[in-house]
Structure 1
Amino acid sequence: MTQPTLILVHGAFATSFSFAPLQAELAFHGVRSAAVDLPGHGFAATFPLGYQAPQDLARFTSEPGSIRGVTVDDNVRALTEAAARAKEHGPVVIVAHSRGGATLTALANAHPELIDHMVYVSAWAPVDLPAAEYNAEPEMKTVDNAALARALAGDPGQLGLLRCNFRQADPEVLDGLKALFCADVSDDEFRIFLNSLQPDENLDAGGPEHRAQAGTWGTIPRTFVRLGEDRSVPTAMQDRLIREGDALTPDNPYRVRTLMSSHVGWLIRPAEAAMQMAQIAADVAAESDR
């Protein structure tokens, strides 16, 4: 049986490092995986000296960042290279989380031949609207972004990027971020997660041209993994994205799975997620051998 490679694509402010616990579990299931850093992430990120402790907020909010000017198209070029390398060794399954879904969608539009299966884990799969515009839709009205807004540092217009102070000690902000992203884990697990994030994210979440296209994206088998306790991308929005994708290509609908997890809890406690990913990998392997 030809074993697929799972390429793991992170969300906003995250890096390939966030997939380490999941990759360990996948390895124990015999599943091959590769976590990638999109441009300006991981060791290519900027951690301003003013971000260290004790913090110098004046420096932190003014220092330039390497992710300035990075676009979705830049992300697609990097992911194209990773997918092409993996494709040399068998089927490719791309697993995208959160904002990483916008890059996966754009890649599937451009190079469907490189992807054997797409997996969106509470991820943006824009069909009717550009990804960022979904934030203003009724399904997002329950999202409390007040803590995230208070964590923003500096002027995005001047910096040319989004910058967040995840190392602050304001208890109200920390409580709000925990409630938004991972209310289902311990306080220590939450703080470890928070310290795994990078402070900078690019401004470009994709335009109308990056919405899913029936003739390319719509030809690839796909799975949507719903996160049933997600307060960042509510289940109502996840279900809307599924409906829009199914309406675009009714002959190739999503295969839907559900994890009872917060937005990042499945990465912190990945045992169940790894089991589901292993099942998806086994299905793809069986399909490729037919």
Structure 2
Amino acid sequence: MSSITYVLVHGAFSTAAAWGPVARDLALRGHRVVAVDLPGHGLDARDTGMVGVSTADDVAAVTAVVRAVDGPVVLVGHSRGGLTVTAVANAVPERLAHVVYVSAWCCVVGGPSVYASVAPSALDRLAPRLLTADPAEVAELRVDFRTTDPEALDALQDALLADGSRTELLAMLATMDGRESLAVDEAMVTVDPDRWGRVPRTYVRLGGDRALMPALQDRFVADSEAVGLPFRVVDLASSHLGVQLRPGPLVDVLTGLPS
């Protein structure tokens, strides 16, 4: 697969930096890899934060990278990044050799609102402790990931990195942005069977994830199968962030994808 380029899409409040260990291991195995900062995140941060950033902006940013690649692309999304992966696959299926959802949102029978109550995240209970502003007033989500509140950190550890150390958690939190967009175009991030369905796909199910619960991951997989577009499913025993911190198992999956 030396001609393949892996394009990595981060999740909510995250940045391209979260993919660092995965990108490093892919490169060391001789593969091309690009980790994308979605608009308003990481090196693409802006003074206005996430206000005005839309799903269309995310899709345009990733599609531009996909189109710039010389050769086939494996598009990989983690967590909320799955919404962008779906929309890009809907837009340019002919440019993709494979799509990979790593404990990621994959809305098949409707947008995220259809799935919101399937399996509440451990983060849902924590949100009021971390929010620094009323989302309705500031038109974005603002969260304090630099908190020193021990109870909040314990809850973040449980939700995001139960299989890691506090030092690892703090290192990952340091790479995260405290702002996220409220806007999601539900139609754009819903699977188009005629276009998305043309792309080979793998779902990496994380059994130890408490941020995007296994029951919700299973629902995405089941809905895809129900419409006749089944995933190849790979199970990894990992937390939400542990899969990025200890990249070996995931890199094995990515480099062993069927052609």
TM-score scaled by structure 1? 0.85
Any stretches of 5+ residues in structure 2 without a counterpart?
none
* Amino acid aligned to 2:22: L
CA distance in 2, matches of 1:188, 1:148: 22
Match of 1:226 in 2: 205
Aligned counterpart for 2:108 among listed residues 127, 134, 140: 127
CA distance in 2, matches of 1:45, 1:6: 23
CA distance in 2, matches of 1:34, 1:169: 33
Is the contact made by 2:123 and 2:156 (CA closer than 8 Å) also made in structure 1? no
CA distance in 2, matches of 1:65, 1:134: 30
Aligned counterpart for 1:208 among listed residues 177, 187, 193: 187
Aligned counterpart for 1:77 among listed residues 38, 43, 60: 60
1:172 aligns with 2:155: no
Match of 1:65 in 2: 48
Aligned counterpart for 1:93 among listed residues 74, 95, 110: 74
Any stretches of 5+ residues in structure 1 without a counterpart?
47-63, 285-290
| 1:113-132 deviation line (CA, Å, top 9, x unaligned) | 12121000010010113124
Q: Which moved more, 1:198-207 or 1:178-187?
A: 198-207
**Identity across the alignment (%):** 40
RMSD over equivalenced CA pairs, Å? 1.6
Match of 1:21 in 2: 21
2:100 counterpart SS class = strand
CA distance in 1, matches of 2:231, 2:206: 15
| 1:236-266 deviation line (CA, Å, top 9, x unaligned) | 1111101111222x2x421111111001101
Is the contact made by 2:224 and 2:231 (CA closer than 8 Å) also made in structure 1? yes
1:263 aligns with 2:240: yes
2:128 counterpart SS class = helix
CA distance in 1, matches of 2:27, 2:2: 16
Match of 1:279 in 2: 256
Q: How many angstroms does 1:210 deviate by?
A: 2.7
CA distance in 2, matches of 1:144, 1:76: 26
CA distance in 2, matches of 1:92, 1:149: 39
Is the contact made by 1:148 and 1:177 (CA closer than 8 Å) also made in structure 2? no
Is the contact made by 1:65 and 1:161 (CA closer than 8 Å) also made in structure 2? no
TM-score scaled by structure 2? 0.95
If you compute each CA radius of gyration, which structure gives the higher value, 1 or 2? 1
Distance 1:166 1:142, change over 3 A: closer
Q: How many angstroms does 1:204 deviate by?
A: 1.5
Is the contact made by 2:141 and 2:179 (CA closer than 8 Å) also made in structure 1? yes
CA distance in 2, matches of 1:2, 1:171: 46
Is the contact made by 2:206 and 2:237 (CA closer than 8 Å) also made in structure 1? yes
Q: How many angstroms does 1:142 deviate by?
A: 6.3
Q: Which runs of 4+ in 1 moved over 3 A?
A: 141-144
CA distance in 1, matches of 2:253, 2:109: 28
1:182 aligns with 2:161: yes
